[in-house]
């Protein structure tokens, strides 16, 4: 079984959980990881080079998924527009590039850990999730945990992940800080803005996004 692993900080709690889950459930021998940025993992999933992954919402619509996602209730701090007169997409992104068009906000799209570093420098930026919430009063769903097979397994992952409060060990937090050049304190603060439960309000936000995507086509 191959799982597409996006090593952005927004999935750090999930990766901590999966390390324990696979070890405790006997899945460790059968779970392999293919790493990449969201746009790369999307392609790997669609071509079935990975069996499951967090897939960008704009690509996930027609695929099986559990009620786990990468969700911003309001602001997110890691999906930004740098205001300027030119529209520049982020090659690592899929959903965020489309969200900028949906919101009709011009500038350079910046996502992931590099966007969080930019935010922490207090440079001018527009938080796309916050703008979405201001306009629609709904959460924004950036990605969904999709799978091609083994529905029972991913339902089990969903149930176990959502019932736990994941504590990130200090050694993992230090590794993440070194890798991203973002302090552990800032990482923990940032993670407070990320939700993973695809609840009814998040589902409404996702439905609204898909409607808006059709509008701009």
C-alpha to C-alpha distance for 102 and 98, rounded to whole angstroms: 6
pLDDT of residue 150: 93
Residue 27 is predicted with a pLDDT of: 57
**pLDDT given at position 81:** 98
Q: What is the CATH number of the domain that holds 91?
A: 3.40.190.10
Pairing state between β 126-127 and 194-197:
unpaired
Residue whose C-alpha is closest to residue 113's, from 137, 78, 84: 78
Which pLDDT score is estimated for 29? Answer: 46
DSSP 168: P
pLDDT given at position 30: 66
Averages of pLDDT over each 10 residues, the chain, 217 residues = 94 95 68 92 97 97 97 98 92 96 96 98 97 98 97 96 95 98 98 98 98 92
Residue 81 near residue 102 (C-beta atoms within 8 A): no
The whole-number pLDDT of residue 83 equals 93
> pTM, whole model, 2 decimals?
0.95
Domain of residue 131: give its range: 2-216
CA distance 8 to 95: 15
Q: What Rg value do the Cα atoms of the chain yield, rounded?
A: 17
Q: How many domains is the chain partitioned into structurally?
A: 1
């Amino acid at each position: 079984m191959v799982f597409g692993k996006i090593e952005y900080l927004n999935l750090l709690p999930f990766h901590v959980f999966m390390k324990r889950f696979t070890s405790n459930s006997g899945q460790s021998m059968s779970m392999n990881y293919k790493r990449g940025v969201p746009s790369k993992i999307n392609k790997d999933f669609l071509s079935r080079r990975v069996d499951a992954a967090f897939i960008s919402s704009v690509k996930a619509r027609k695929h099986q998924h559990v009620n786990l996602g990468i969700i911003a209730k309001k602001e997110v701090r890691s999906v930004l527009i740098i205001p300027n007169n030119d529209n520049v997409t982020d090659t690592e992104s899929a959903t965020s590039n489309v969200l900028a068009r949906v919101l009709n906000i011009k500038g350079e799209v910046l996502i992931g850990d590099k966007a969080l570093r930019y935010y922490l420098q207090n440079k001018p930026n527009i938080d796309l999730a916050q703008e979405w919430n201001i306009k629609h009063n709904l959460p924004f769903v950036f990605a969904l945990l999709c799978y091609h097979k083994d529905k029972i397994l991913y339902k089990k992952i969903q149930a176990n992940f959502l019932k736990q409060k994941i504590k990130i060990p200090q050694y993992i937090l230090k590794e993440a800080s070194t890798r991203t050049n973002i302090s552990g304190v800032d990482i923990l603060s940032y993670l407070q803005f990320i939700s993973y439960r695809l609840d009814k309000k998040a589902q409404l936000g996702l439905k609204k996004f898909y409607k808006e995507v059709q509008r701009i086509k």
